[in-house]
Amino acid sequence: MNAHSGDAAAAGAGQRVTVSSIRERKTSERPIAALTAYDYASARLADEAGMDIILVGDSLAMVVLGYENTLPVTVDEMLHHMRAVARGAKRALLVADMPYMSYHASVEEAVRNAGRFVKEGGAQAVKIEGGRKRLPAVRAILDAEVPVMGHIGLTPQSLHRMGGYKVQGRVPPEAQALLDDARALEEAGIFSLVLEGMPRELACDITRAVSIPTIGIGAGPGCGGQILVFHDVLGLCEGNSPKFARRYLKGFSVMKEALERYAEDVRAGKFPSDDESYHSPKGAPLRFPARRETKR
Ligand code: KIV
């Protein structure tokens, strides 16, 4: 069996999602379901729940590492999480988010870092924030055989330039610039495009204008798919979440309550029970004399 016949043999329910199968979804009625994941457990959950795409997002800086924004996270930190996700996810397409300053200083550095996500992290593609000004990096990464997912609109790595997390493209020149960015990225050869934090009407226009699937986050229902942050969907972070982040579980309070019950059981001597303990072999109990008290 060669590498290609392996693909054919894998056809069926458990088949790995590929960049080409995501591209093909442009013409499908079925929106793409995408989610972030950051470790083995979250990757298994996302994968077994049937996500098409798992993104190891740089949002991990905030939801996993506790930073105030995404800017401090490094390539090495992202790779550490990428590898864990790759061990947990067997079916979804795995995309690594390139963190701030991993593709900004030079095209060479961008290619080297993108390559690390594939070689060392097990990613099938990388995601890059920004439009036309990122084209040299995008083209060079594509030339190195690494598929690229674009990301325009509210791009969190541009936090300081934007002056906060603000919806983008509300005025015509901004909307036109985003449409031009989308077309230029498509022409460069990206396989899909994340549209974040923009009016739903603009997201629809961009989706109609390009031949690749768009994946929205805070961009309304007209995109080719949707992506959310794992911790937002499961309600794992308390506090204000953006209005587009639908919460399917009050994970923080459910988990906190379980942990409180565990601590109570330990303190009340109710954990572990006899059933939760190992026993010496019947008939030959291993018993040792109590340790003698030593004088100080
Ligand atoms: O890092 C992230 O979580 C993202 C979003 C698009 C989901 O980039």
Answer yes or no: is the C-beta of 196 below 6 A from any ligand 1 atom: yes
Q: How confident is the model at residue 295 (pLDDT cuts 50, 70, 90)?
A: low
Answer yes or no: is the C-beta of 214 below 6 A from any ligand 1 atom: no
Q: What is the pTM of this model?
A: 0.92
Mean pLDDT of the 137-159 span = 98
**Predicted confidence (pLDDT) per residue in 84-109, tens digit:** 999 999 999 999 999 999 999 999 99
If you measure from the C-alpha of residue 229 to the centroid of ligand 1, how many angstroms do you get, rounded to a whole number?
Answer: 7
d(CA 95, CA 146): 11
Q: Which residues are CB-contacts of 68 (< 8 A; sequence separation ≥ 6)?
A: 62
Answer yes or no: is the C-beta of 192 below 6 A from any ligand 1 atom: no
Q: State yes or no: cis peptide before 156, omega within 30 of 0.
A: no
If you measure from the C-alpha of residue 233 to the centroid of ligand 1, how many angstroms do you get, rounded to a whole number?
Answer: 13
Answer yes or no: is the C-beta of 225 below 6 A from any ligand 1 atom: no
Return the pLDDT at 13.
57
Percentage with pLDDT > 70 across the chain: 93
Answer yes or no: is the C-beta of 205 below 6 A from any ligand 1 atom: no
Task: Among 126, 223, 229, say which to mutate for ligand 1: greatest number of ligand atoms within 8 Å of CB.
Answer: 229
Alpha helices (runs of H) in 25-166, residue ranges in sequence order: 40-48, 60-63, 75-88, 107-119, 135-143, 159-162
If you measure from the C-alpha of residue 156 to the centroid of ligand 1, how many angstroms do you get, rounded to a whole number?
Answer: 8
Contact 150, 183 (CB under 8 A): no
In this model, does residue 290 exceed pLDDT 80?
no
Residue written as tokens 């909307």?
A: 175
Return the pLDDT at 286.
67
Answer yes or no: is the C-beta of 129 below 6 A from any ligand 1 atom: no
DSSP label of 67: -
Which atom in ligand 1 lies closest to the alpha carbon of residue 217?
A: 6
Which residue's CA is the closest to the ligand 1 atom numbered 5?
57
Return the pLDDT at 285.
65
